[in-house]
Amino acid sequence: MKFRDWLNEAGFTKFPPGWTRKSVIKFAKTLTKDTGKLPTEKGFFNECVNKMRKHFGEGAEGFCASVKDEAFNSTYWRGKGKTEKETKADVASHKKIPRKPKGKK
């Protein structure tokens, strides 16, 4: 199965065997270790695409968007021209995975 088969326009449809949300974020940090950009920071997406284009060709954008989706736990970071404040507000109000209430394990 090709890696692209794990992705759709809204991110990962499911993780490849052995991958978790946490491992996706850890992998993302290794992509930008030279600059220290985190997946939730401005500039990560372009840096990721530049590094992954040789592996995915035109699919690099989808892959990198999916990685950011997992880091933000939302697709609402997407959109050109958003300020960091707008991104954080959109993401906070549209999480993909419900968070556990504080104090619950």
Q: What phi, psi does 79 have (nearest 5°)?
A: 130, 120
Higher pLDDT among residues 77 and 20, named by residue: 20
Strands 7-8 and 11-12: antiparallel
The dihedral built from the CA positions of residue 20, 24, 26 and 27, taken in this order, carries a sign that is positive
Given a cut of 60, is residue 17 above it in pLDDT? yes
Distance from C-alpha of 102 to C-alpha of 56, rounded to nearest angstrom: 39
Distance from C-alpha of 101 to C-alpha of 19, rounded to nearest angstrom: 25
* Confidence band, pLDDT 50/70/90 cuts, at residue 85: confident
Q: pTM here?
A: 0.71
